[in-house]
Amino acid sequence: MSASDLDYLRYPIGRPVLPATPLTPAARVPYLQQLAELPARLTAAARRVGGERLQVPYRPGGWTGRQVIHHIADSHLNAYVRFRLALTEANPTIRPYDEAAWAELPDVAATPITVSLALLDSLHTRWLSLLHNLDEAQWQRTFFHPETKKIATLDQTLVLYAWHGQHHLAHVELLAAAH
């Protein structure tokens, strides 16, 4: 397998591109829509893959479909908390976590993916309720990420997590296509 093939398997929708300037309300709509649709689209993709195939990595050296689905719930739960911290504190330093270590915890193998899919559905309902009620100043609130050493606005974080959901959905869809 060539390096470009491996890069495609790792980033099937490309890498994220974050906005350098504030988004307009209209520019936020597609990102909010992607977050809203992710739980149902991910559930449908997981059904197409099926239980056995979800135990297979989507690429050489990658996570299994099961790990990807549990990871999305873990990651988006952390993102939701980061939004809430940024809205209630002045530029808080967020807590990073070891995604690879979380993917290896025993609950990932022991918990049916339906639990994380239901969590993601409920979480996105709550998260979107928050996001749809932010004013323009709130979208420009920030947090500091100590690993990247960067400050991120909530606009940028919306774009990142909309991308993140689509990125991992594409991984599950790769498994479905190979089935």
What pLDDT tens digit does each residue of the chain (179 aa) get?
777 877 888 999 999 999 999 999 999 999 999 999 999 999 999 999 998 999 999 999 999 999 999 999 999 999 999 999 999 999 999 999 999 999 999 999 999 999 999 999 999 999 999 999 999 999 999 999 999 999 999 999 999 999 999 999 999 999 999 86
Closest among 76, 54, 82 to 66, alpha carbons compared: 54
What six digits make up the tokens of 125? 């309902």
What six digits make up the tokens of 97? 């976590």
Which pLDDT does position 5 carry in this prediction? Answer: 77
DSSP state of 97: -
Which pLDDT does position 131 carry in this prediction? Answer: 98
Which pLDDT does position 179 carry in this prediction? Answer: 64
Whether 151 contacts 9, CB under 8 Å: no
In CATH terms, the fold of domain 33-178 is Four Helix Bundle (Hemerythrin (Met), subunit A) (1.20.120)
Which pLDDT does position 7 carry in this prediction? Answer: 86
Whether 51 contacts 179, CB under 8 Å: no
| CA 30 – CA 159 distance, rounded (Å) | 9
What six digits make up the tokens of 129? 């309720």
Q: What residues form DSSP beta bridges with 145? A: 150
Which pLDDT does position 4 carry in this prediction? Answer: 80
